[in-house]
Amino acid sequence: MPNLCRRSFLAGAAAVAANMVVPGVSHPQAPPSGPFRLAALAYPNNALEPHIDARTMELHHDRHHGAAVAGLNAALKDHGQAAQMRLEQMLLKLGELPEEIRTAVRNNGGSHANHTMFWQIMGKDGGEPDSDLKRAIDRDFGSLAKLQDRFNAAGAGVFGSGWVFLTADGDGGLAIVTKPNQDTPLMDGRRAIMGNDVWEHAYYLNYQNRRPDYLKAWWNTVNWAAVAKLRG
Ligand code: MN
């Protein structure tokens, strides 16, 4: 499981304790005031051009993801017990959270988990799947091209806002899963090893209504080493 919550919690707590500015938040309106924080992108905003433009990356990461982190921290402000849970556990056990924060955690926590994965599995010159991942893709989809066709069709078929994911089960079996809004496979106890954001904010500046073109171009941004790492 990606350990994004514990690490974020510790980093956030340490930063608050040291009264320092957490890097990666370029807009001062969202100072870290809770267990979660917005990590900086590991690459410049323009690294994924021409497939994803720098302005889209800036708005998407700083504003959209940033707002989700702020919303998640705000929801947890008066719920110290929930605030100590790992994010994966919160999302898996939404029904056990206090009712007044359930929707906020679902939307903002789901967004934080999804976007954290999303930034991780993209990068400049991402190469090809390694031989082990390639074997699994061939076994479960026939070929990488067939996986891409099915993944793109699934992403194009999401009505309104949502995500298309590639998940891995405990035995390493791969599956394509779509989710509406900011829902995540973590809510089903499944692990996303990659995924594409098909909310309009992810592509509208460059692609407008042409979501299928974005889905197709997006594969050029995939960092396969990072996908293999999330597969574990
Ligand atoms: Mn997004």
In a domain, 25, yes or no: no
Please give the residue range of the domain that contains residue 189: 50-232
How far away, in angstroms, is 18 Cα from ligand 1 center? 31
How far away, in angstroms, is 203 Cα from ligand 1 center? 9
Residues 136-187 pLDDT 10s: 999 999 999 999 999 999 999 999 999 999 999 888 899 999 999 999 999 9
CA distances from 230 to 4, 35, 142, 153 (A): 11, 23, 21, 23
How far away, in angstroms, is 60 Cα from ligand 1 center? 6
Dist. CA 165–CA 115, nearest whole Å = 12
How far away, in angstroms, is 37 Cα from ligand 1 center? 16
In a domain, 24, yes or no: no
191 pLDDT more than 50: yes
User: Which pLDDT belongs to residue 19?
Assistant: 37
In a domain, 99, yes or no: yes
In a domain, 13, yes or no: no
Q: Where are the alpha helices (DSSP H) in the chain?
A: 4-18, 54-58, 66-76, 80-83, 87-92, 99-104, 110-120, 131-141, 144-156, 204-207, 211-218, 224-231
Residues 113-137 pLDDT 10s: 999 999 999 999 889 999 999 999 9
In a domain, 42, yes or no: no
CATH number at residue 156: 3.55.40.20
- Greatest Cα pair distance, the chain, in angstroms, is 52
User: Which pLDDT belongs to residue 9?
Assistant: 43
How far away, in angstroms, is 43 Cα from ligand 1 center? 17
Residues 200-232 pLDDT 10s: 999 999 999 999 999 999 999 999 999 999 998
In a domain, 108, yes or no: yes
User: Which pLDDT belongs to residue 200?
Assistant: 98
How far away, in angstroms, is 94 Cα from ligand 1 center? 21
How far away, in angstroms, is 174 Cα from ligand 1 center? 23
How far away, in angstroms, is 181 Cα from ligand 1 center? 9
Nearest Cα residue to 114 out of 189, 57, 24, 184:
184
In a domain, 43, yes or no: no
In a domain, 15, yes or no: no
Residues 70-117 pLDDT 10s: 999 999 999 999 999 999 999 999 999 999 999 999 999 999 999 999
- DSSP assignments along 73-136, one per residue: HHHHTT-HHHHTS-HHHHHHTGGGS-HHHHHHIIIIIHHHHHHHHHHHTB-SS-----HHHHHH
How far away, in angstroms, is 202 Cα from ligand 1 center? 6
1 pLDDT more than 50: no
How far away, in angstroms, is 48 Cα from ligand 1 center? 15
How far away, in angstroms, is 115 Cα from ligand 1 center? 6
Residues 7-57 pLDDT 10s: 444 444 444 343 344 444 444 454 567 899 999 999 999 999 999 999 999
Q: How many residues can be counted in the chain? A: 232
Q: What total number of domains does the chain contain?
A: 1
6 pLDDT more than 90: no
How far away, in angstroms, is 206 Cα from ligand 1 center? 15
